[in-house]
């Protein structure tokens, strides 16, 4: 089984444009951006409750603390939220503030919490409808590769991804021609 595709900026824009034309556009946009801009795994996103992401005043936190039950490796970790993602998430949360803090952050069209499996299939169909061959892991891999392209060190990337080994993180980085061009210019 090959690695998940990393999306270009243009592909992500095309995907978000397609999502904007469909039902539940705000929820779907935030679901995608959670993967692309935080690097969270599908299971981690599916496990989120409102209380995980907002403070007592309903404001989205700058850091999301995942406990060991929410992560793949059963090790608690902190997800750092970029400002642009917090703003997108705040718009979505503001639509949901009447919900109990223990409610799932993301609900299916039927009003039920997403499971990791259902969310995986959901991503698959979002990509397919936009004409992009990708998987539910593409956002996470794009997140790591994008930061690596901008010069973020592998140890920091491993911390952001929740990897305990930098060898695992290195497998996520998709080396591209732009990275090579910039590298040779450092000489």
Domain identity same for 91 and 36: yes
Q: For residue 1, is it within any domain?
A: no
Q: For residue 2, is it within any domain?
A: no
Q: What is the DSSP string of 78-145?
A: EEEPPHHHHHHHHHHHHTTTTS-TTSBSSB-TTSPBPPHHHHHHHHHHHHHHTT----TTHHHHHHHH
Query: Which CATH number goes with the domain that contains 13?
Result: 1.10.443.10
Q: 69-102: per-residue pLDDT in tens?
A: 999 888 899 999 999 999 999 999 999 866 788 9
Domain identity same for 157 and 110: no
Domain identity same for 78 and 92: yes
Domain identity same for 60 and 149: no
Name the domain count of the chain. Answer: 2
| Predicted structure pTM score | 0.90
- Specify whether the backbone of 21 is left (phi greater than 0), alpha (psi in -120 to 50) or beta: alpha
Range of the structural domain that residue 164 is part of: 140-184
Domain identity same for 91 and 44: yes
Domain identity same for 69 and 33: yes
Q: 96-152: per-residue pLDDT in tens?
A: 866 788 999 999 999 999 999 999 999 999 999 999 999 999 999 999 999 998 889
Domain identity same for 111 and 124: yes
Domain identity same for 132 and 158: no
């Amino acid at each position: 089984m090959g690695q998940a595709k990393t999306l270009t900026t243009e592909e992500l824009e095309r995907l978000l444009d397609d999502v904007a034309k469909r039902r539940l556009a705000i929820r779907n946009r935030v679901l995608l951006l959670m993967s692309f801009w935080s690097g969270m795994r599908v299971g981690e996103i599916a496990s989120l409750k409102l209380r995980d992401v907002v403070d007592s005043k309903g404001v989205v936190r700058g850091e999301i603390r995942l406990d060991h039950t929410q992560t793949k490796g059963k090790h608690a970790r902190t997800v750092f939220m970029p400002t642009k993602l917090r703003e997108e998430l705040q718009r979505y949360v503001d639509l949901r503030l009447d919900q109990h803090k223990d409610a799932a952050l993301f609900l299916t069209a039927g009003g039920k919490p997403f499971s990791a499996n259902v969310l995986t299939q959901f991503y698959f169909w979002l990509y397919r409808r936009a004409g992009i061959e990708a998987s539910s892991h593409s956002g996470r891999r794009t997140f790591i590769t994008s930061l690596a392209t901008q010069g973020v060190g592998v140890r920091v990337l491993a911390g952001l991804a929740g990897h305990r080994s930098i060898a695992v993180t290195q497998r996520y980085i998709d080396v591209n021609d732009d990275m090579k061009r910039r590298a040779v210019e450092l000489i």
